[in-house]
Structure formats: C-alpha cells, structure tokens
A and B are shown apart, each in its own frame.
Chain A
Amino acid sequence: MDRGVIEKIVKEIEGFAPKTHEAHVGRVTAVGDGVVAIDGLSRAMMSEIVVFEEHRGKPLKEAMESKSAIMGLILNLEEDGVRAAILGDTARVTEGMMVHSTGQILSVPAGEELLGRVVNALGEPQDGKGPFKHTTPMPVERKAYGVIDRKHVSIPMQTGIIAIDALIPIGRGQRELIIGDRGTGKTTIAIDTIISQKNEPAEKRPICIYVAVGQKESKTARIVQELREKGALEYTIVVDAPASAPAALQYLAPFAGVAMGEYFMDRGRDVLVIYDDLSKQAVAYRELSLLLRRPPGREAYPGDIFYLHSRLLERAARLSDEKGGGSITALPIIETQEGDVSAYIPTNVISITDGQIFLDASLFNKGVRPAIDVGISVSRVGGDAQTKAMKSVAGSLKLELARFRELEAFMQFAQDLDQATALRIATGSRMVEILKQKNGEPLPMEKQAALLFAAMHTLFAEVPVARVREAAHAYLNFLDSNHAETLAKIKSSGTIEDDSKLTLNKAADEFRAAHKEFFSA
C-alpha cells in the first residue's frame, strides 16, 4: 500500500471521534428522463445540491466499491416536494431511494490548475490527466456585478481577424454575439480569437474558456487538438457538455464556464469566454423545463428563457479599478435556421448583447471567408476600445464596403459602368480580398493596420483581383523581413505616427519594385 495512504489512515484513526450525522432527507417518488421527484426535503433551497444515497442497507464493502456519489440539482420547489435534475447516471437512481440535502449551492472548481484542461459542466476532469489538487470552489449561479463596480469598455480584445478588428471591434468586457447558419464558420472565428491571444504579452493575455454545449465529441476533440498544436491550450480551459450529456449538464455548462472565469476576473485578470452555442443550451433548458412541468411558452420554451441568457451574459463585465480591473468578455454563439435572425432565441440574445457578428451562408459559399456580413454586423461599445492605429485606417472602410455590396448587386445586370462606379467596384472587390483570411492564421494588430494602410493608399489597386490575397501575404512577409522595427513601433504605441506613415509609404514603393510580378498587367 502507498505510504501516503497509510499515513492518512493512521492520522484518521488517531484523530477519530465518533460523530452524529444529522441531515434533512427526502425520498424519490418518481424518476425518468433525467428528472426526479422527491418527497420531503422541506428545507431545500433552489439550486441546492442533493446527494442520492445508494448504499442504504448495503454492506460497507459494496458501499466503498460503488462509483462516485450521484448528485442532483434542485430546480423546482413545490407544495409537497421538490423536483431535481440528476447530474450523473440516471439509471442508478431508483424509486424510494433516500436523498440527502447538503445545504450547498452548486459550485465548480476554479484556479490556475484548470488551465490546459478539459472538464465537464461540474468541473470534473475529462482528459485523463488526474484530479485537481488546489482549486477554489466558485458558485455556478452568482449575481452579476452592479453598475458601481463596473467600468466602461476601453481595452481591445484582438481577434486577429481583420474584418472584425477593423470593422466590428470588440473590447475587453464586451458581449459580442456570433450568429449565423450552420457551417458558416462561427466556431472558427471563436477558435481563431483564442489562438490570436498568443500575440498578446503573457502578463496581459486573457485566460480563454471555451464552453462546448451539445457539440459532437469529435468536434470538441478536434478543437482541443488545434488549440494544443497552436500552443493556445496552455491558457485555455475547455468545458465540455457534449450532445450525449444529460440536458441538465448542457444547461449548466455555460454557467460553469463563467464561474471559472469569475475566479480570474476577481483577481484582476482578463478572461474571454466562448459559449458554443447558446441555441443548444436553450434547447436543453426547454427539455428540462418541460420535464419539470413548467408551463411552455413561445416555441415551447419556458417563460424564463430570456432570463436564462440575460443572467448569464450580464456576468460579462469590465470591473472598476477598485474591484481589480479584471474583465470577462463573452462571445456567445447562436445558430440560425436559413439566416432567420428574427427567430425567438436569436432576437433575445441580440437584444442582450452589445453587438453581433453576422455570418452569411451566401458569402461563405462565394468563398468570402470569414463570411461576415459587414452591413448588419455591429459592435455597440467596441469602438472606444479600438486602437488609434486601426481607427485611422479603418475609418471609412465599412461605408466603402457597404457601397460596394450595393453596387455588386447592380453590377450583375449593368452593361456599361461610368468611371467612378467602375473604380469603386474595383477598390471594393480588392478590399473584400484583403479581408479574406485563412482559419487558424490570426494576424496581430500591427500587421492588420499596416496592411489596411497599404490598401487604403492604393498599393493593391493595380494588382489583379485574383492575386490580391497573394500580394497581401507577400507584402506582410516583406514588412516582417525589412521593416520589423516599424511594425514593433505600431504595436507598442498603438498608433501609426507620421514617421511610421512615411516608412510604410516607402515600404510600399520598395515592395512594388521588388515584386513586379503582382503589378504587371
């Protein structure tokens, strides 16, 4: 036997004093579909954890050999009993089983030890790397910080995606919805944002929490692998509530994720939480509510479905300096059907968040990736958080692109175009090419700013549209090898100062001379 275990046993025996356990109990009267009706538990609290007693009447050996205790979460307090969701193996709960109240509200472990780990909605490790040793329990349900404790959003959260950082900037502490049909690249944007944090200095780098709700295990495994390969897993926690998990765990996962984030925020750190996705959480909550016999409302969702999402997303905040100045940035994801953003859950979450990034299936199919529809995407508070460098180069970009989209539709049936229109179309189509980006390759802010500066100063005007991306890539490599100090200056100051502008203009001329292949018609 392990010496440590022997020592522990000796210590226990030496310190043994007979104890009387007193507990409030109830009995299971009905069980099914992950929900259990319990008689008794007259002092139960909402969201309290209860423990099912499996070993009643069984010998000690059998009780010791049984798996970990089955727990339940009280969700309904009724006149003559309570209803709870089973957080574990439903098959082990039987009618008549005794249920112990714990007097504890559900909490999850949080701390540095969780970084780089994959856990379930209860914070239990799922990656086979062993249990946690030094963690702090954080309540899954907690009141969001109030007005006095908050500060306005002023520091950028770089996603590394030019289209977002330039046109729909996100600030630390913001809630920005990523919305679109299935297969339009919503998760890709979220994962690229996590990977992009690698470009941040380690002391300012946000802790990332990726919450997978109702996803296929294979997809989550692929994401974990990608994060590991890109070196992003070391500052990321993955909370996994797969499609095969009980509805209760899928409903709880986003709350568990934000609870883990609050641990870091309370200690002055910045946190990025991605909820992938809240549509599936809403479906899980609907299932649970119907099983709990709560009255169904629109689309059979319960009456408090708005509150479910609002109380979750309100926990994203930028705290005041007195509170440590930490933040939680929330990127919830919502899946639409046939691009219908006016459905029940999408409209709810749109109204709660501080803006939305809308991904359009038709743009995606046209090869515009990320398929962001700039026209209806918006960031309501991120503008203040944008760096001066990005602001100076992206000022008129959104308008230019909107005009181009309008003309693009017109262009399909127009024969002769006047010179001004033709020029606008040429510029717009080149700009669209520049905003295209491969997944897994987020760009740091200084490179984005330098590229947009070059584009706004007509560097790519003579490059054939089909070769713009290639030229942009070559230009960034050129800057890296020949003008790294200018990029470093933009990065440190956050602005493109006059001398940097001169250098960038000079660099553009040098690039033209060095890469004639892009400019010869």
Chain B
Amino acid sequence: MENRYAQALYQAIAAGCDSKTAIKNLVAILTRTNRRELLPRIAKAFARIAQREGAKNRTVLSVARHQDIPAAIDAAAKFAKVQKSDVHVDKSLIGGWRLEHQDMLVDTSYKQQLLDIFNRVTA
C-alpha cells in the first residue's frame, strides 16, 4: 500500500505540484483514513522511487583516457546532451567511449569491439 501512496506522491510532484502542498494533502488523507502510521514506510518507498527515477534519467559517459573527454562529448552529442560532470574515466574500455542515457546504451569502446572479435573467433 505504501508503494501506491509513494508512487502517487512522486507522480504529483513530477507533474508540477508543489511538494509542500502535495505532502500536506497526503498527510491529511492519511489522517482522515486512519493510516498515519504508514508515513515512515511511504517516505522510504518515495526515496526508493526517486532514486530509481533519478538513475533512469542519469547520463553517464565513460571514456578510457582524460584526453579523450572533449572528443567523446562531441561524438556523444548525437545521442544525448552530456555535461562534463556526467563524464568518468574507465580504463577498462581501452579506447573509445560508452554512453548510458536513460534506457539507451551506445558503446564504441575498443574493449567491446575486441570482445566481439573474440566471441566470433571462438564461436
């Protein structure tokens, strides 16, 4: 039940409702229906949903070396708008870049290409 309340609260706030008003209204409904004790659990569920939704919308651009960052941001711009703060260095990529944006993955890394060759040769 707490998940439903938390989901409704998240959707209301995401739709533009003032967060203070939304929470006030939720507390009022819970008090009226004798369910105030659900509040701590609703808070936890809300935090989970917010974290999950945040992760969904996060953009991560991984590059193998620091000096590749500007070129990678330019190349990835075709798929998503990337800020410098979204970039991190992952040496395991060997070269190229890898973009994770919402539920899309774009991988141009050397590691992936070498793995593909390895899989084809050993198949």
Q: Measuring CB to CB, which residues of chain A are less than 8 angstroms from any residue of chain B? A: 5, 8-9, 12, 16, 18-27, 29, 39-43, 55, 57-60, 63-64, 98, 100
State A284–B29 Cα separation when bound (angstroms). Answer: 43
Closest to B62 in A: A57
Q: When the two chains form the complex, which single residue of B100, B108, B112, B121 contacts A25, counting CB atoms closer than 8 Å?
A: B100
Contact indicator B113/A24 (Cβ below 8 Å): no
Most chain A beta-carbon contacts within 10 A, residue among B90, B105, B107: B105
Interface residues of B, count at CB 8 A: 25
Contact indicator B121/A24 (Cβ below 8 Å): no
The interface residues of chain A lying within 8 Å CB-to-CB of B90 are: 57
Q: Least Cβ distance of A98 to chain B in Å?
A: 7
Q: Least Cβ distance of A53 to chain B in Å?
A: 9
The interface residues of chain B lying within 8 Å CB-to-CB of A20 are: 106-108
Contact indicator A18/B113 (Cβ below 8 Å): yes
Contact status of A63 and B121, CB under 8 A, knowing A25-B103, A25-B104: no
Most chain B beta-carbon contacts within 10 A, residue among A29, A41, A63, A98: A63
The interface residues of chain B lying within 8 Å CB-to-CB of A9 are: 117, 121
Q: Closest 5 interchain pairs by CB?
A: A40-B103, A21-B107, A25-B105, A8-B121, A23-B105
List 20 additional contacts besides A9-B117, A9-B121, A12-B121; criterion CB under 8 Å: A8-B120, A12-B117, A16-B117, A20-B108, A22-B104, A24-B103, A25-B100, A25-B103, A26-B103, A29-B52, A39-B55, A39-B56, A41-B103, A55-B115, A60-B92, A60-B111, A60-B114, A60-B115, A63-B111, A64-B115
Closest to B101 in A: A25
**Sample of 15 A–B contacts (CB below 8 Å):** A8-B121, A16-B117, A18-B113, A19-B116, A22-B104, A26-B103, A27-B55, A29-B52, A39-B55, A40-B56, A43-B103, A57-B90, A59-B92, A63-B111, A64-B115
The interface residues of chain A lying within 8 Å CB-to-CB of B114 are: 60
Contact indicator B104/A21 (Cβ below 8 Å): no
Q: Measuring CB to CB, which residues of chain B are less than 8 angstroms from any residue of chain A? A: 52, 55-56, 90, 92, 94, 96, 100, 102-108, 111-118, 120-121
Contact indicator B106/A21 (Cβ below 8 Å): yes
Closest to B79 in A: A22
Q: When the two chains form the complex, which single residue of B55, B94, B102, B105 contacts A21, counting CB atoms closer than 8 Å?
A: B105
The interface residues of chain B lying within 8 Å CB-to-CB of A21 are: 105-108, 112
Q: When the two chains form the complex, which single residue of A5, A42, A55, A64 contacts B103, counting CB atoms closer than 8 Å?
A: A42
Contact indicator B115/A12 (Cβ below 8 Å): no
The secondary structure that dominates the B interface is helix
Contact indicator B121/A5 (Cβ below 8 Å): yes
State A60–B93 Cα separation when bound (angstroms). Answer: 8
Closest to A63 in B: B115
Q: Least Cβ distance of B22 to chain A in Å?
A: 20
Q: Least Cβ distance of B59 to chain A in Å?
A: 13
Q: Least Cβ distance of A65 to chain B in Å?
A: 10
State A388–B118 Cα separation when bound (angstroms). Answer: 61
State A42–B94 Cα separation when bound (angstroms). Answer: 30
State A342–B40 Cα separation when bound (angstroms). Answer: 50
The interface residues of chain A lying within 8 Å CB-to-CB of B117 are: 9, 12, 16
State A451–B104 Cα separation when bound (angstroms). Answer: 71
Q: Least Cβ distance of B123 to chain A in Å?
A: 8
Contact indicator B118/A64 (Cβ below 8 Å): yes
State A24–B117 Cα separation when bound (angstroms). Answer: 22
Q: Least Cβ distance of A125 to chain B in Å?
A: 14
The interface residues of chain A lying within 8 Å CB-to-CB of B118 are: 64
Closest to B97 in A: A20
State A64–B103 Cα separation when bound (angstroms). Answer: 25
Q: Least Cβ distance of A61 to chain B in Å?
A: 10
The interface residues of chain A lying within 8 Å CB-to-CB of B100 are: 25, 98
The interface residues of chain A lying within 8 Å CB-to-CB of B116 are: 19
The interface residues of chain B lying within 8 Å CB-to-CB of A19 are: 108, 113, 116
State A98–B113 Cα separation when bound (angstroms). Answer: 18
Q: Least Cβ distance of B109 to chain A in Å?
A: 9
Closest to B107 in A: A21
Q: When the two chains form the complex, which single residue of B105, B111, B113 contacts A100, counting CB atoms closer than 8 Å?
A: B105
The interface residues of chain A lying within 8 Å CB-to-CB of B96 are: 18
Contact indicator A98/B115 (Cβ below 8 Å): no
The interface residues of chain A lying within 8 Å CB-to-CB of B105 are: 21-25, 98, 100
State A55–B114 Cα separation when bound (angstroms). Answer: 13
The interface residues of chain B lying within 8 Å CB-to-CB of A98 are: 100, 105
Q: Least Cβ distance of A62 to chain B in Å?
A: 9
State A24–B96 Cα separation when bound (angstroms). Answer: 19
State A41–B102 Cα separation when bound (angstroms). Answer: 10
State A19–B118 Cα separation when bound (angstroms). Answer: 15
State A389–B96 Cα separation when bound (angstroms). Answer: 75
Q: Least Cβ distance of A386 to chain B in Å?
A: 49
State A29–B55 Cα separation when bound (angstroms). Answer: 11
Closest to B117 in A: A12
Most chain A beta-carbon contacts within 10 A, residue among B102, B120, B121: B121
Closest to B55 in A: A27
The interface residues of chain A lying within 8 Å CB-to-CB of B120 are: 8, 12
Closest to B52 in A: A39
State A19–B113 Cα separation when bound (angstroms). Answer: 7
State A64–B108 Cα separation when bound (angstroms). Answer: 18
Closest to A12 in B: B117
